[in-house]
Amino acid sequence: MTSVPPVVLDAMGGDHGPAETVAGAVAAWRTHHVPITLVGDEARVLAELRRHSATGEIAVVHADDAVPMTERGAGAAALAASSLAVGCELVGRGAGGAFVSAGSTGAVVSCAVRGIGRAAGVLRPALAVALPALTGGASVLVDAGATADPSPAMVAQFALLGVGYARAVLGRPDPAVGLLSIGSEPGKGNRLACQSAKLIAASPVRFHGNVEGHDVLSGVVDVIVTDGFTGNVVLKNVEGCVRTALTMVAQAGIASPDRLAEVARRYDPQTHGGATLLGLRGTVVVAHGSSRAATIARACVVAHALAGQDPAAGIGAGLKGAATAP
């Protein structure tokens, strides 16, 4: 069991590290038997492990620095001794099977690209989140926040990466892809959407065409593609709308508390643990910055399950084609 490469967890990441991250690591190991390596300030991490009587159960790698949550990008990669950089470097050289952090998304992306590296042919990584659909399954939203201002070629690659994720994780043999836009008719959207649609249509995916905001949770397609700025807005809007709607239903007393709790769990970040960063040579899961122990534990479980799976495998030719398309 412990011969499987461990999940490397950024102990200092997020709003509540290392207390909640260490607690999550302990839960992931004791409850789900996921091997963990914690990276961070050794003295503080060991103190948290002692609180859980877990000293010696989980390996600790010291890192001198921690990337602040206010760091949004390339500045994080310059902190070579940070828990983010050290953790990604461990995965990059094979000492870990996957990396998990609740740190700033931009900082995680920068460190992961530098320490783990992009998969062959990938222009930019993208975040994938599986959102529950009315059909009972899930749809993959990609990009959910990794690349805010991509080129059309990058968006076309996001479609290919999303298809690989849907096949590997959701078990969809031939996923349908929709491009998020302001109308379902061909040609609708801004310049990025229109140019991206042409590239996706010419790529080796089953392209449904444009989808609109109200289609995000409908299950009409398996993969919903957009730029990282729009995708992150959509993701947080979905989370906020679900909370608001459930609160209003609860206040109206028209559904049982148990039923409301069941629906809430489907959209709770604790359920899916976080977003998977696609397009790298290793597995990276980015948890919410506000994650508590249960969500961190779930993120580690997800990362452990995904380790060794490559959503980009088998679509290398398509990635290269999208990269060279006009």
Reading the chain (326 residues) residue by residue, the pLDDT tens digits are 446 689 999 999 999 989 999 999 999 999 999 999 999 999 999 999 999 999 999 999 999 988 888 777 667 666 788 999 999 999 999 999 999 999 988 899 999 999 999 988 899 999 999 998 888 788 999 999 999 999 999 999 999 999 998 988 888 999 999 999 999 998 999 999 999 999 999 999 999 999 999 999 999 999 999 999 999 999 988 888 888 888 888 888 888 888 877 777 676 666 666 899 999 999 999 998 889 999 999 999 989 988 877 666 655 556 666 666 55
Question: What local confidence, expressed as pLDDT, does residue 3 receive?
Answer: 62
Question: What local confidence, expressed as pLDDT, does residue 270 receive?
Answer: 60
Q: Which residues contact 228 (CB under 8 A, 6 or more apart)?
A: 126, 127, 143, 144, 145, 146, 147, 148, 149, 150
Question: What local confidence, expressed as pLDDT, does residue 1 receive?
Answer: 42
What angle do helix axes 293-306 and 19-32 make, rounded to 10 degrees? 50
CA dihedral for 189, 190, 194, 199, sign (positive or negative): negative
Question: What local confidence, expressed as pLDDT, does residue 251 receive?
Answer: 87
Q: Which residues contact 251 (CB under 8 A, 6 or more apart)?
A: none
Q: For residue range 125-184, what is the model confidence (pLDDT) as tens digits?
A: 999 999 988 887 889 999 999 999 999 999 999 999 999 989 888 889 999 999 999 999
Nearest in space to 165 (alpha carbons), one of 302, 309, 288: 309
Question: What local confidence, expressed as pLDDT, does residue 78 receive?
Answer: 64
Global confidence as pTM: 0.87
The shares of helix, strand and coil residues in the chain, as percent rounded to the nearest 5, are 45, 15, 40
Question: What local confidence, expressed as pLDDT, does residue 268 receive?
Answer: 67
Question: What local confidence, expressed as pLDDT, does residue 288 receive?
Answer: 87
